A and B are shown apart, each in its own frame.
Chain A
Amino acid sequence: MASFLTNNVEVVAIVLFSIGFTSLLLHKNLVKKIIGLNIMDTAVDLFLASMGYVQGKTAPIVENGIVEASSYINPLPSGLVLTSIVVSVSVTALMLALTVRLYHRYHTLNVDEIYLLAREEVRRK
Chain B
Amino acid sequence: MKKKSRTKNQSLFARIQSFLDSQDDRLTEEMERDEEPEPPHESKLPVWGQTVEGLASGEIRFFDKIYPFAAFLLALFIIAVLLVTASRLPRFGGDSNPALNEVTERYLEDGMEETGAVNLVTGIILDYRAFDTLGESHVLFTAAVAVLVLLFDAATEKQDLLENRDYDLAGDTVFREGVRFLLPVILLFGVYVVLNGHLSPGGGFSGGAILGAGLILHSLGYGFAATEKLVNRKSYGALTVCSLCFYSLSKAYSFFTGANHLPSIITSGVPGRIFSAGLILPLNICVGIVVACTMYGFFSLYKRGRI
Contacts and interface: CB of A to CB of B under 8 A. Distances in A.
Interface residues of A, number: 78
A74 B120 CA distance: 10
B108 A75 contact: yes
A100 B151 contact: yes
A62 B111 CA distance: 10
Given A29-B40, A60-B120, A68 B108 contact: yes
Interface string B118-132: 111100110001001
Nearest to A103: B40
Chain A contact residues, majority secondary structure: helix
Given A31-B40, A116-B12, A53 B92 contact: yes
Contacts of A60: 107-108, 119-121
Interface in B43-67: 43-48, 52, 55-56, 60
A124 B129 CA distance: 53
A62 B151 contact: no
A124 B19 CA distance: 11
Given A94-B146, A96-B302, A10 B37 contact: no
A73 to B, nearest CB: 9
Nearest to B85: A14
Contact of A86 (B23, B87, B94, B140): B140
Contacts of A25: 71, 74-75
A7 B302 contact: no
Interface of A: 1-4, 6-11, 13-15, 17-18, 21-22, 25-26, 28-29, 31, 50-55, 57, 59-62, 67-70, 72, 74-80, 82-83, 85-87, 89-91, 93-94, 96-98, 100-101, 103-105, 107-110, 112-113, 115-117, 119-121, 123-125
Nearest to A2: B91
Chain B contact residues, majority secondary structure: helix
Contacts of B20: 120-121, 124
Interface of B: 12-13, 15-16, 20, 23, 25, 27, 30-31, 34, 37-38, 40-41, 43-48, 52, 55-56, 60, 68, 71-72, 74-75, 78-79, 82-83, 85-95, 97, 99-100, 103-105, 107-113, 118-121, 124-125, 129, 132-133, 135-137, 139-140, 142-144, 146-147, 150-151, 200-201, 203, 205-206, 271, 298, 301-302
Contacts of B30: 105
B110 to A, nearest CB: 8
Contact of B99 (A9, A74, A103, A108): A74
A67 B108 contact: yes
A7 B34 CA distance: 54
B55 A55 contact: no
A108 B36 CA distance: 11
A117 B35 CA distance: 14
A121 B25 CA distance: 12
Nearest to A107: B37
B143 A2 contact: no
